[in-house]
Structure 1
Amino acid sequence: MIENRFQGRFLGVLGGMGPLAGAFFMTRLVALTEAERDQQHMPAVLWNDPRIPDRLAACFGNGEDPLPWMQNGIDRLVGMGAGAIAIPCNTAHIWYERLAAATPVPVLHIVQSVLNALRRRGVDRGRIGLMGTSATLGLGLYQRALQAQGYECVVPSAEEIERYCTPCIALVKTNRIEQSLAPALECIRLLRDRGIDALVLGCTELPLALPEPQRLALGLPVVDSVDALAIDALSWYRSESA
């Protein structure tokens, strides 16, 4: 039996999609925490399972269903005592409703976290440029939520996604991060030419491709889905611990 002093809520993180994005999310959880000592940080457990089948292939009917694997990871985390679940993978949120319905604890939604982050940045209207996977953008995961809140979405064409977003994300997944910057910047240039007011990095590999100095040089608000989800996870922990 676990002693009472070892009990308490912690965040469960379903990672592995891709592995570096999951690890990066954990790093950002720590970096975004205002703390003066170790004990003020949020307890978290990462289930970083790269065996989860490819989400893109499944969306387009060319691969194994990842849902049982994702549910297995969540079940493991809940079994360990997780009080909430964060999933640092945008495309995985295509299965969000089924995962949340089968999970007895809150599952944070990364798109809602991005909406919250836009408002914190003072962007409550306007034209939002979106970058992400072909499935996330093609199935309208962000567009539906943003348009419901009065935003206008500016999305790369299918050809532009395959030319810029897809290789950028693939380069990060294969640990060629420096090479991923060029296609990211080219996609951003196209979106800026179409008059965007803010940019959403709607894939958890994209923040690794576009480091902070590059974002500052753009001169427009950039919302990072990794940081947005991490901030909402920290808010959950503070509210539960109050």
Structure 2
Amino acid sequence: MKRFFSIIGGMGTEATESYIHLLNDRTPAKSDQEYLNYILVNHATIPDRTDYILNHEKPNPLIPLKEDIEQQSQLNPDFFVIPCNTAHYFYDELQSMTKIPILHMPKEAVKEISNVFPKATRIGLIATKGTIYDGIYDKEIKDAGYEMVKPTKHIQDETMELIYKYVKERNEVNSDLYHHILDEMKNELKCDVIILGCTELSVAQERAGDHDYPVIDAQSVLVDRSIDLAIKNRKHE
């Protein structure tokens, strides 16, 4: 297969399924042959990223992630996609292993803010404790000239409940809880924009119905960048 990209997924599987669904749904295809070529590695047994980031005695996700990058690099994809925000903690190490570019999910999400919300200054982030703790988004947001707003402990606890108790454990979305978290970020913490910095939150966004909150969904942005790059590469075939 030529002109394809590799998706390192399974973190978690429902979130990866959401990425694939959006990818196929948004691809401008009118026949089977106009859809994109890609390989999905749904590596569901990769250890929890947040567990390791908060406690390095836990199993290290980098080990299987390196194996995936090494294996897929032998097939020579045009680029890699990793639809897991927290896994970007390992981005630099993974990119150093291969000459094939890896799309940087947080960078792309932050770049999208000026396109959708040009007057925004205060950027809120909701994500796993691992992403909040390790600062995956901090540099990107600050370097872009924005003021970063992190969730309070209360909001963080609610976010972890939504991610782990509902989406990961039950494959359910508590829409009321999701909208409540967004309301707290917008009205209590005065955020102009709220970045969804976890793919389980992207699942919530997809399933929870319409709302008027100013959201940048990192996974949705990654889908659009994947499509743009894949189509660009295909034209050069």
Structure 1 pair 174–212 and aligned structure 2 pair: CA distance change class (3 A): closer
Distance 2:32 2:117 in 1: 32
The DSSP-based 3-state class of the residue aligned with 2:216 is strand
Match of 1:199 among 194, 198, 216: 194
**Cα deviation per residue 1:27-65 (whole Å; 9 max; x = unaligned)?**
111112122222122111110011111111110124111
Q: Which position in structure 1 is the counterpart of 2:217?
A: 224
Match of 2:182 among 177, 182, 188: 188
Instruction: Using the TM superposition, give the Cα deviation of residue 124 of structure 1 relative to its aligned residue in structure 2, in angstroms.
Output: 5.9
Distance 1:174 1:113 in 2: 28
Distance 1:122 1:160 in 2: 23
Q: Please, which runs of 5 or more residues in structure 1 have no aligned partner?
A: 1-6
Structure 1 pair 142–221 and aligned structure 2 pair: CA distance change class (3 A): same
Distance 2:5 2:106 in 1: 18
**Cα deviation per residue 1:171-224 (whole Å; 9 max; x = unaligned)?**
11123423x32332222121112222112111000021133764x422x43111
Quick check: 1:11–1:85 contact (8 Å CA) kept in 2?
yes
The DSSP-based 3-state class of the residue aligned with 1:11 is strand
- Look up the equivalent residue of 1:137 and give its one-letter code: I
Distance 1:144 1:158 in 2: 21
Match of 1:50 among 39, 44, 48: 44
Equivalences for residues 25-64 of structure 1 within 5 A: 25-61=19-55, 62-64=57-59
The TM-score with structure 2 as length reference comes to 0.91
- Look up the equivalent residue of 1:23 and give its one-letter code: E
**Cα deviation per residue 1:136-180 (whole Å; 9 max; x = unaligned)?**
012221122111101112211234212x110111111123423x3
Greater mean alpha carbon deviation, residues 82-91 or residues 230-239: 230-239
Instruction: Using the TM superposition, give the Cα deviation of residue 89 of structure 1 relative to its aligned residue in structure 2, in angstroms.
Output: 0.3
The DSSP-based 3-state class of the residue aligned with 2:170 is coil
Q: Which position in structure 2 is the counterpart of 1:98?
A: 93
Q: Which position in structure 2 is the counterpart of 1:18?
A: 12
Q: Percent identity?
A: 27
The DSSP-based 3-state class of the residue aligned with 1:199 is strand
Distance 2:44 2:80 in 1: 17
The DSSP-based 3-state class of the residue aligned with 1:117 is helix
Cα RMSD of the aligned pairs, angstroms, is: 1.7
Equivalences for residues 102-121 of structure 1 within 5 A: 102-121=97-116
Distance 2:119 2:58 in 1: 38
The DSSP-based 3-state class of the residue aligned with 2:6 is strand
Q: Which position in structure 2 is the counterpart of 1:234?
A: 227
The DSSP-based 3-state class of the residue aligned with 2:30 is coil
Greater mean alpha carbon deviation, residues 107-116 or residues 181-190: 181-190
Structure 1 pair 42–120 and aligned structure 2 pair: CA distance change class (3 A): farther
Q: Which position in structure 2 is the counterpart of 1:161?
A: 156
Q: Please, which runs of 5 or more residues in structure 2 have no aligned partner?
A: none
- Look up the equivalent residue of 1:200 and give its one-letter code: I
Structure 1 pair 124–76 and aligned structure 2 pair: CA distance change class (3 A): farther
Quick check: 1:177–1:208 contact (8 Å CA) kept in 2?
no
Match of 2:70 among 52, 66, 75: 75
- Look up the equivalent residue of 1:186 and give its one-letter code: H
Say how many residue pairs are matched: 232
